[in-house]
Structures are given as C-alpha cells and as structure tokens.
Structure 1
Amino acid sequence: MATSVATAMPAPVFHPTVWGEYFINFTPEPLQISDEKMAERINQLKGDVSGMFQATKNVVETMNLVDVVQRLGIGHHFEEQIATALASIHSAEFNSSSLHEVALRFRLLRQQGFWVSPDEFDKFKNEDGSFVSGIANDPKGLLSLYNAAHLLTHDEGTLEDAILFSRRHLESIQSSLKPPLADQVGRALEIPLPRTIKREEAISFIPEYSSIQDQTYSPEILELAKLDFNLLQHLHQKELKAFTQWWKDLSGEIGLDYVRDRIVECYFWSYTVHYEQANARARMILAKLFVLTSLLDDTYDVHATLEEARELNKAIERWDYGDVSFLPEYLKKFFVKVVSNFSEFEDELEPHEKYRNVYNRKGFQTLSKYYLQEAEWFHQGFTPSFKEQVSVSVITAGAQVLSIGLLVGMGDAATKEAFEWVIGNTDAIWACGEISRFMDDMSAFKNGRNKLDVASTVECYIKEHNVSSDVALAKIGSFVEDAWKTINQAPFKYPALLQVVQRVASLAKSMTLLFLDKRDAYTYSKDFKKTLESHFVKHILI
C-alpha cells in the first residue's frame, strides 16, 4: 500500500471487472430437482450418514469416513459426530504399520486440535533419523505423509524432513501415477491439503470419489455431497445477486472510478471463510468489509494526496459523519458510506451482540492509521528498515481487521474473549497477516509494483542485507512457512477458541490460493474467472 504524490496524479488503470452485472441478471441452469426436493433429500441422507458414524467397526474405518466427509465438503453437517469420533480415535490404542494410516490419523487429529507427537513417524525411520527407502514406493502413503507433515509447528525437524523427503519422491513419481492419485498429488504439490480451502477441495474430490472402490466408498455420501454443493451454490448465487446490486448502488453514489472493481472476488474471499448456510449473516458482513477495506486501500494507494489522506484518517478517527466539511467531496461521500455500512452491520446484530461492532470499527480505524503511515513514508522518500516495514505492512495486509470482521456475524463462538484475542494481534492473527503480506509482496515483486508504492518487504530486505532478489525471495518464503507453523500451533495453544482459530486459518488459506505461484488473483483477476465459475456458476452433475 502507498499513496500518490501531493499533487493530483492520474490513477493507475486497474482492469475492469470481468463480471459486471452478471449475477444481477444471472439465471441458474435448471436442475432435475427443485431446491425443496434437494433439501428434503439432503435431510434423509444426513440421517443415513450419521448412522455410518455409529456403524464403523474400527479406528481405520472411522478415519476414512471422517476424511471423505470433510474432503467432500459436507463436514459442516456432522461437526458433533466428527468431534466425537476423533476424540475416540485420539484416546484409542493405535498400532499400524501403514504409513497412510499413521499419517491420516496424525492429520485428522491435529486439524481438530488434538495433539499428536511427530514421534508417530519414528517407525518409518532408520537409526540415523532418515526415512527408510522402502516408503518411497508407497505413493499413497507418501502423499498422506506430505499432507500431514504440513501441520508442523515450530522446532519439529522430523516433520520438516518428512516434507522434503515426501516432496522429492512425489515429484519423481508423479508422471507415472494414474488418476485420481496423480491429480491429488499434483494439487498437493501446489497447495498441501491442510492449506487448501474446503470448497476448492470439494470441487476436485467429488468427481474423484466415485472412482474409490474400496470400503470408504458410499453412494449415499456422494449423493449428499453433490446435492449439498448445488443447494448451497443456489444460496450463494442469490447472495451474489444482492451483493452486486449493493455494490452498484454504492459505487454509483460515491463514484470511485479509480478503485478495483472486484465485487465477486470479495464475496469469494468471504466465502472461503464462511460458506455454510448457517453463516450467511457472517458471510455477507465479511464480504462487505472486504469491499470497504479494498476501497480504503485504493483511496490511500492510488488517488488521495497526502493532505487528503491525513484528513481522511482524521475523519475515520472521529467517526462522525456530521463533521466532514474539511473533506473533499469525493471523500465525504466515501466516508459517509463507510459509516452508514457499519451502522447497517450493527443493525444485523442482536442486542447482546452489538458490542461486536465496536471492535469492528476499531479494526477499521487501526487499518486507516497504518495506511497513512505508509503514505507518510512514501512522501518522505523514506525506505524503512525491514523490521519497521513489517511492523506496519502486516497490519495493512488486512488480517487483523478481517479476522475481527469474520467474527462479527458469527454465532456463539464469537465471544468477547475471541474479539480480545483478535484485536490484541496475538501470534496467530499476526501470522495470518504475515502470510498475506509476504505472499502479496512476493507477487508484486515478480509482477512489478506500482511506481507510487512504498518499498515492499522484499525490497527492504534486499537493501538492508545487500542480497540478490533470489536470496530475498527465498528468505521471505521461509517467513511464510514460519507463519504457518504459528497458525498450526494455535489450536493447541488456544483450545477454547478452536472454531475461531479454524476460521482465521481459512483466511490464511485463501491467501495461499489467491497468491499461488506469486500471482495476484485479486488485482489481476481475469485468470481467476474459471475458478470462480466452478464455485458460483457451474453446478455439479447429479
């Protein structure tokens, strides 16, 4: 984030939206079954699958059931059954010589906040600590080990070795594998399963699941996954229609023609955190907050003079739209709309929840303050130290304000303790911000940043340490990995906040997808359209 020079500058040209009013006018392709019939059938199938949890005969069957239910995207229907099953697995005796089974148990339990020691993998290692060569001939086991090891926390050398070992062997055998294992390996080598957003995995895994012809396959589970995806997609399409109309009205009133028009992308970002029907309120509040923070970013970044930036920050600090005479006309309209939308967020809340919006506003005010700091640096021609840059730009990456925002519309898990945890920028929140900031900056370095931007973390590191860009990028990449270790540690460190930690982790996962291979699929969203179509336009054939 940066801002323009003190005299008016032409705004950089962001490419226009690839969506326009598509979802306002969108009519879904008719399905063979109505929404009402789908909902009725889903309820029947949920009963069938619940029975399967009770009918599993051993730990391995239970693990396989939990795994497919989660990967097919229907785990939200069976949260209690999954929690009970994994608690039972955690306490049960388990002695398996199968690398796949040991790794699967490790991953499922750690994801749910149950601690499992990496010593579980010692049986697959030689006396010198290296992995036995025989497991290199077990592609399914290697893939499970690779995915499980990505739940490592700090100072877990065994799991770091496991990642290197399994990745090297998976890359060497990938071309000889057959679908669906070949496809699963390809996806994991891009984004490991524990860092993959749930709906993205479901879209890939649903068509693969039908080819699994062993004891884990159930036609009822597959039917439920397909129907549930399509029914939820219809809800998301209706929300996108309303959301696009909201944006059309908002942008028409304030006329910010210099900003990134990325309304569908903002909705997607929110949906990666909250896709379930029960979280519709949380999803819409967060999606609107994404838009408002993006507008604030672009206003500071590419349009406002330094004096305008200072005055806008003052207005946001005061939060009084009755006293905005000192702002230029375009910022008056923008500021009034920000305040009115925050009032609408509060109107969505029950009386005992309204305190949440105070935290929401504080997060937005903090974001504005740090955007202004970057603007001040730019105008002074000041290149901060790497540490100074990180202390500001991790906040401007937005993880804190968005982690507050994802809580605002949630249910009972959004406690005052949770809000204090987030606004205090505790380690996991900061780590989410680091992932966002460092991946964004590596993308900007690769693609060329705006000439008005303040020096990025990559550039600050190069200058301060007098190293090549390759060395700096490798170092920044290692900081991303360290941040993931901190997020992986959070379920064990904050067990009472597990649901909140998991949502914050989902926010971090969205960054992994949007900035994959150092792209920026938000700013340069044309190449991301097919991904969005798979989520919001194309239904799954039943």
Structure 2
Amino acid sequence: MEFDSKNSSILIKKVDQDDVRRSVKYHPSVWGDYFLAYVSTEVSTTEEEELRRQKEMVRKVFAQTPDHSYQKLELIDAIQRLGVGYHFEEEIDRSLQYIHDTYLEYSTKDDDLRTVAVRFRLLRQQGYPVSCDVFTKFIDGEGNFNVSLIKNVEGMLELFEAAQFRIDGEEILEKALEFSSSNLESLLPNMSSSLSKQVKEALKIPIRKSSNREISAIEEEELRRQKEMVRKVLAQTPDHSYHKLELIDATQRLGVGYQFEEEINKSLQYIHDTYLEYSSKDNDLRIVALRFRLLREQGCPVSCDVFNKFIDGEGNFKLSLIKNIKGMLELFEAAQFRMAEEEILEKALEFSSSNLESLLPNMSSSLSKQVKEALKIPILKSSSRVGAKKFISIYQQDESHNEILFNFAKLDFNIIQKMHQKELSDITRWWKDLDFANRLPFARDRVVECYFWALGVYFEPHYHIARRMLTKIINLTSILDDIYDVYGTLDDLQVFTDFFQRWDVNNLEQLPSYMRICFEALSDVYIEMENELEKIGELYRIQYAKEEMQKLVRAYLEEAKWSYNKYTLTMEEYMKVALVSGAYMMLSTTSLVGMGNLVTKKDFDCITSEPLLVLTSTTICRLTNDLVGYGFEKKPTAVECYMNENGASKEEAFAELEKQVMNGWKDMNQEWLRPTVPVSMPVLTRVLNFTRIAHLFYVEEDEYTNSQANIKDIIHDVLVEPVVTD
C-alpha cells in the first residue's frame, strides 16, 4: 500500500498561516493524575538509600517490641495495612509463628475484645486455621454477644474485621458479624469525624476485601494452588462430554485460557478429530453450535454442514428452536465465525438475532442482559479483558458454574489488574514528565485510553515489555495525527515529513518547536525499544517499525494536501492512502517488536508485505472509524467519498460501508481459518485483537476522541474496580 507524497498529482497552493492553522478543541484527559497514585517502579539512588535507612529503623522497632505484647499485634497490623509488609516478611512470619504457638494461652488470659479479635484476624490472614472459640467469653447467658461491648467501638470494629475471615459452620462469627455491623452502623452519628470515617470505610470495604495494589506472595501462592485445582478439573472432565465444551468455553471467556493453553489445545484436538462423529449424534442446538464455535475460534475450519439437521423442509431453521434461547444464543455466536458463501450461517445469523431481539421482553433480567451484550458485541468482536469482566458476573449467576474455576478466575483477574495498574502508573508518569498537555495543548491527552488500546492487543503478563512499547507509540502517533490533522501548516508538514524520511535526530533545531517536541519524544521511545531489543539480539526489528512509521507520516501528509486543496476523491484514491493513515499497519508491526522469541524475522517480513489478513483488518478499522467520524472529522472520510462518487445519500453510503465492514469480518474469518500466506498464531492473534479493540472504541461513536462517554466506564471497570471476592 505504497504511494509517493512528493510526486502527488495534487498541487500545493501557498496560503497564509492564519488561513491554514485549523482549530479543534478536544476535552482534557478524563483521568488526570488518577493513576499516578499507584506506586512507581522507578526510584532514584537517593530514595533507595533513604528507604534502606528507614527500613533498618523499622526493623529495630520491630525487634524491640515483645512478641507477646498487644503492641506487637498493632505493629504487625499497621505494617501490613500500610502496604510495606513485603519488606519484613521474615520478621513478621517469625513473630506470627510465636503468636500462633501461644494463641490459646494468651487468648484465654485476654479479656479485651480488641486484642483477641486482632490476634485472631492476623493469624487467619496468615493462613493459620485458629479456633474462633476464643470469642465465647464475650457471649452472655442467652447466647448473644454482651451488650456491654457496644461501648467499645474500636473493639467492635476489630470484631467486624475478624468476622470477615469466617468459614462455613462458624456460628459465633456469623453472630459477631451481625452484632458488630449493626451496632457500628447505629453508632455512627455519635462518633468523632475521624472514627466515623474509618468505620464507614470498613463497613463498605473490610480489610479482607480491600484492594492492596501490591501483589503479595500469599496471592501468588494461592493463585498457583488454585491453578492446580483447575488443571485437575480439566483433566478429570472427559473430552467427549458437553461438560468439557462448557469448561473450555468458560475458561477462555473468564480470561484465564492463557493459563491452560496446553490442556485446552490437547482437548480441542480430540474434539476436532471426533467432530463429525459427535456432531452427527447430538441433536441439541446449543451443543452443536458451541462445539463448532470453539473449534473455529481455535483456527480449525470445521464444516458448517452440521447445522443442516436444524433446517426444515422449506430451507429455514425450525421454528421449534425458538424455545431454546440458550441454543439460539450459541447459534448467534457461532454464526459470527462464518466465511463468504456459507449460506446456512447467514440464515443462522438472521434467524438467531431476529428471534433473540424479539424475545428480550420475555427473558429474565440476567438472561436479557447477557443477550443484549452479545447482540451488541459478540464473542468474536469482544476485547478479552472487557469480555472477561462481564462474563465473571454472568458465570456467577449460572447455577451449574464450576466453583473452582470461578474462584480462580476472580483471583487471576484481580492479580492481573494490579499488574496493569502498576504499568499504567509508570506510563502515566512518563507522559506527565513529557508535559504534552501544556506544551502541545492542541492535541488529545489520552494516555490511559492508549494503554487500554494496547491492553486489548495483549493483556497477558509475559507481554509487559511489548505493552509498554506499544502504548507509547500509540500515544505519540495520536499526537502526530493531531499535528497533521488540526495544527500543522502545510509547509511545516512537508518539512516534518522529510525529517521523518531521513530520521534526522541531529538537526532538530530546524523544526518548529511543536514538531521538535514530538519528534524528540518519539525518537527517545525508539531508542528505548532498541535497548530492549539489544538484550535479546533482535535489533533488526526496529527498522521494520521505523519504516512503517515513515510510511504513516507520508500518508498523513497526503491527507493534509487533500484538506488544504479541498480535493474531491474517488473511493480508490481515498482508500489507498486511508488504509495507511489509519495507523493499523504500523501499529500491527510495532506490536510484534517486544514479543520476545514468540515472533521471528519471517513474521516481520510477512506482516509488512501487507497480507490479506492485515489489509482486511485495516479496512474494517478504517471504515468503522469513518462511519462514526462522519460529520466530525476535519478531513474527508469514506462516507463523503462514496457519496460524491456514486451520487448516493448518507443513508445509502452508510449501508454500503457497513456491508463492507460485515464482509470484512467474513474475510477475517477466512484468513484466520485458511490463511492465504503462512502467518504464525501470535501474529494472527495480534491483528485480530487490533480489530476487536477498534470495534470497542468505534462501535457507536468515536470514544477515543470523546473519551468522556461509555469507554470511561469500561476502563474503570477493567482497570480500577476489582472483582469482589468472598
């Protein structure tokens, strides 16, 4: 998709700067400094030395405080709740071992509710299954907690926190929870403002459920333990059973499929090998559709003829299937994976979507919500983390859900979320240090949205370096886009483009300040990428990334010429440039740079040759963006080009372009299942994920530019709000 902007047939007319400096005012970042509150991994040498000094001071205080004293309990509690327990794990473990060994002795002696409750909670937090019988001394003759305890507000608060660690059958802790929570609630008006605030926060989110933003060793160990439990469940569920299909589907949709790739691949291989045998036997639409979808998701081009059994004598899906709502929902999801000319899947899509839509008023609220979300964004088009967070709540309401898998998915989501929060904190700090919001106020300030975009491409822990690189490039590409679209003069843009082609870092003073600021930042990111690549001996990758960036700015310049000259374009002229200026080709290539040994030089040669997969993805993303950008963009879009060339109305243009997007998804499926050129699965997945995240941002409006809308809530749900665990 190459063109020569210097030899463009469009003449450049000289105009005054006042005539060409366009003006668009974007809203500021909706996040501000929110993610700066998270701990940064970058600290200075002075800070490290000061930290060591103060750590030794705390260690001395800890050593000098007797293990049997209440002061030691308070100290351990404070250290852990302040988030610095990881600095003193050895000391805390040793003290808690002593406190455990003397638990009954001291709990029997102590009559202070606060002391007994803190000791109990700290030990249960540590994993010791200590007895709750220590609270029987606070029970009156009628089996209730003594009314006199109500005066001890701090003791009741500790009792409330201790009761959060109850397990099934611990009746005294159930009473403790009811007694403490109800009385604390009623006493709130009589408390001091500071105590009232503390109690309110505890009642809302107790210590047991609070989000410590550091991933603890206990969490990591618990994750390993639960992972083994899920692995056993997968191994014990027969591959030929419907339960295995459900289990694989749930594992993937809960966002933990990456933890069990080997097990899932092995099971799906068996399911593929026996596909026709079991699909011919099964008459349950839900089972047949789920098996079909799981295999096509895996890249297996299995036949859609398995749905023939559900067709009546007139060639339509049987009306009796309408009663099977879950079956129709699975049929709808399966039909998303259709390729061109799969007529039965076209019928399946029409049949399932129309009937699901009409039946919505008669469904339960939970099923109705699930169906609405599927109709809006089906599994094929869903971004992994967004889909996982939604499916966790759906899966919880499924009475047949696997509790072991469910608990593991919740823990995994929260741990991964903490990792993402830490990454975003560091990236936000990088962005704030650049100070583009003040230095380049004409540009969009969207660092959080850029990170979320990269997260849609790969969320897994082992892609953290790639994610950091891609986020920074997306962010600076957004700045470049605004320079070319809304701020730069045509003369400046020509100079800037030439600068990029030379990659001239030695003559930056020749650039206008706003361009110099951007180029310096971008150059620094590529140097950072080079340093990472040098560690693994893969420096060649940076050249692929730079060449795609150079190609992108040439496309930006071409579009700027169109705008300045008010040139009327044909669709062919427009798409030739717009497929490059959408930046998806450049970003798809850049996304591979930090992926370690999972990609090879052959993958870079493949993706930069612009195979059908990449062209199709880019077309979908470009047209989707243009459809929501019509009427708002300051440059031509596919909508205007189609209308002008064909004398079509806006409605006709929309209908045609939406049809092209729909056909694009069919071509994507074709390339996923039967690639025209050999493309590795990591590359296929990145390109598909780019298409998915673009669909999320542009499904109804441009939610990147206008990030105050629905996308803000989605980002909050995925990156801020943890999954509630019991």
Q: Report the TM-score when normalising by structure 2.
A: 0.71
Q: Cα distance 1:208–1:367, how it changes in 2: closer, same or farther (>3 A)?
A: same
- Alpha-carbon deviations, 1:94-114, whole Å to 9, x = none? 121011111101110001111
**Distance apart, 1:285 and its partner CA:** 0.9
In structure 2, the residue matched to 1:68 is 250
Q: Write the distance in 2 (CA, Å) between the matches of 1:372 and 1:157.
A: 43
Equivalent position to 2:266, from 84, 100, 107: 84
Q: Write the distance in 2 (CA, Å) between the matches of 1:10 and 1:208.
A: 47
Q: State the secondary structure of the residue aligned to 1:525.
A: coil
Q: Retained in 2: the 8 A contact 1:6–1:305?
A: no
In structure 2, the residue matched to 1:333 is 517
Q: Write the distance in 1 (CA, Å) between the matches of 2:476 and 2:610.
A: 21
**Distance apart, 1:439 and its partner CA:** 1.1
Equivalent position to 2:685, from 492, 502, 505: 502
Q: Write the distance in 2 (CA, Å) between the matches of 1:131 and 1:437.
A: 35
In structure 2, the residue matched to 1:110 is 296
Instruction: Answer yes or no: is 1:317 the counterpart of 2:329.
Output: no
The residue identity in structure 2 corresponding to 1:148 is A
In structure 2, the residue matched to 1:144 is 330
Give the 5 Å matches for 1:436-447. 436-445=621-630
Q: Retained in 1: the 8 A contact 2:603–2:679?
A: no
**Distance apart, 1:325 and its partner CA:** 3.9
- Alpha-carbon deviations, 1:506-541, whole Å to 9, x = none? 110111111122x11100000121111101111111
**Distance apart, 1:273 and its partner CA:** 1.1
Q: State the secondary structure of the residue aligned to 1:210.
A: helix
Larger radius of gyration: 2
Q: Write the distance in 2 (CA, Å) between the matches of 1:514 and 1:253.
A: 22
Equivalent position to 1:43, from 215, 224, 232: 224
In structure 2, the residue matched to 1:166 is 352
Q: Which moved more, 1:526-535 or 1:483-492?
A: 483-492
Equivalent position to 1:418, from 595, 603, 609: 603
The residue identity in structure 2 corresponding to 1:264 is V
Equivalent position to 1:12, from 24, 36, 42: 24
Q: State the secondary structure of the residue aligned to 2:37.
A: coil
The residue identity in structure 1 corresponding to 2:644 is K
Q: Retained in 1: the 8 A contact 2:223–2:412?
A: yes
Q: Across the two proteins, how many residue pairs are aligned to each other? A: 533
**Distance apart, 1:389 and its partner CA:** 0.6
Instruction: Answer yes or no: is 1:97 the counterpart of 2:283.
Output: yes
**Distance apart, 1:254 and its partner CA:** 8.6
- Alpha-carbon deviations, 1:259-281, whole Å to 9, x = none? 10000000000001111111111
- Alpha-carbon deviations, 1:222-267, whole Å to 9, x = none? 1111111111111111111111111111235992111100000000
Q: Retained in 2: the 8 A contact 1:399–1:430?
A: no
Equivalent position to 1:198, from 369, 384, 390: 384
Q: State the secondary structure of the residue aligned to 2:30.
A: coil
In structure 1, the residue matched to 2:655 is 474
Q: Retained in 2: the 8 A contact 1:342–1:357?
A: yes
Q: Write the distance in 2 (CA, Å) between the matches of 1:375 and 1:5.
A: 13
Give the 5 Å matches for 1:245-324. 245-252=429-436, 255-324=439-508
In structure 2, the residue matched to 1:521 is 703
Identity level (%): 34
Instruction: Answer yes or no: is 1:25 the counterpart of 2:19.
Output: no
Q: Retained in 2: the 8 A contact 1:254–1:330?
A: no
Q: Write the distance in 2 (CA, Å) between the matches of 1:135 and 1:252.
A: 57
The residue identity in structure 2 corresponding to 1:218 is N
Q: Write the distance in 2 (CA, Å) between the matches of 1:6 and 1:370.
A: 23
In structure 1, the residue matched to 2:580 is 395
- Alpha-carbon deviations, 1:126-168, whole Å to 9, x = none? 2332111111111101100001100111221221111111111
Equivalent position to 2:234, from 48, 53, 67: 53
Q: Report the TM-score when normalising by structure 1.
A: 0.95
Q: Write the distance in 1 (CA, Å) between the matches of 2:600 and 2:367.
A: 41
Q: Which runs of 5+ in 2 are unaligned?
A: 1-11, 40-82, 84-204
Q: Retained in 2: the 8 A contact 1:146–1:166?
A: yes
Give the 5 Å matches for 1:200-219. 200-214=386-400, 217-219=401-403
In structure 1, the residue matched to 2:415 is 231
Q: State the secondary structure of the residue aligned to 2:258.
A: helix
The residue identity in structure 1 corresponding to 2:715 is L
Q: Retained in 2: the 8 A contact 1:35–1:231?
A: no
- Alpha-carbon deviations, 1:381-400, whole Å to 9, x = none? 21110111111112111110
Q: Write the distance in 2 (CA, Å) between the matches of 1:48 and 1:128.
A: 49
Equivalent position to 1:382, from 567, 572, 577: 567
Instruction: Answer yes or no: is 1:122 the counterpart of 2:308.
Output: yes
Q: Retained in 1: the 8 A contact 2:329–2:356?
A: yes
Q: State the secondary structure of the residue aligned to 1:246.
A: helix
In structure 2, the residue matched to 1:373 is 558
The residue identity in structure 2 corresponding to 1:347 is N
Equivalent position to 1:134, from 295, 311, 320: 320
Q: Retained in 2: the 8 A contact 1:431–1:487?
A: yes
The residue identity in structure 2 corresponding to 1:498 is M
Q: Cα distance 1:156–1:276, how it changes in 2: closer, same or farther (>3 A)?
A: same
Q: Which runs of 5+ in 1 are unaligned?
A: none
Q: Retained in 2: the 8 A contact 1:383–1:454?
A: no
Q: Cα distance 1:496–1:365, how it changes in 2: closer, same or farther (>3 A)?
A: closer
**Distance apart, 1:320 and its partner CA:** 1.9
Q: Cα distance 1:6–1:128, how it changes in 2: closer, same or farther (>3 A)?
A: farther
Aligned structure 1 segments of 4 or more residues deviating by more than 4 angstroms: 3-6, 26-34
Q: Write the distance in 1 (CA, Å) between the matches of 2:704 and 2:635.
A: 20
Please report the RMSD computed on the Cα atoms of aligned residues, expressed in angstroms: 1.9
Q: Write the distance in 2 (CA, Å) between the matches of 1:40 and 1:529.
A: 33
Q: Which moved more, 1:178-187 or 1:307-316?
A: 178-187
In structure 2, the residue matched to 1:355 is 540
Q: Which moved more, 1:329-338 or 1:83-92?
A: 329-338
- Alpha-carbon deviations, 1:357-398, whole Å to 9, x = none? 111111111110111111112222211101111111121111
**Distance apart, 1:496 and its partner CA:** 5.0
Q: Retained in 2: the 8 A contact 1:114–1:492?
A: yes
- Alpha-carbon deviations, 1:180-213, whole Å to 9, x = none? 3222211111111111111111111112212222
Q: Which has the higher contact order (CA 8 A, sep 6+)?
A: 1
Q: Write the distance in 1 (CA, Å) between the matches of 2:273 and 2:385.
A: 30
**Distance apart, 1:346 and its partner CA:** 1.4
Q: Write the distance in 1 (CA, Å) between the matches of 2:17 and 2:298.
A: 53
Q: Retained in 2: the 8 A contact 1:59–1:89?
A: no
Q: Retained in 2: the 8 A contact 1:292–1:338?
A: yes
Q: State the secondary structure of the residue aligned to 2:435.
A: helix
- Alpha-carbon deviations, 1:65-86, whole Å to 9, x = none? 1000011111110111111111
Q: Write the distance in 1 (CA, Å) between the matches of 2:572 and 2:660.
A: 13
The residue identity in structure 2 corresponding to 1:537 is V
**Distance apart, 1:5 and its partner CA:** 7.1
Q: Retained in 2: the 8 A contact 1:253–1:333?
A: no
In structure 2, the residue matched to 1:541 is 724
Q: Write the distance in 1 (CA, Å) between the matches of 2:15 and 2:337.
A: 44
Q: Retained in 1: the 8 A contact 2:624–2:661?
A: yes
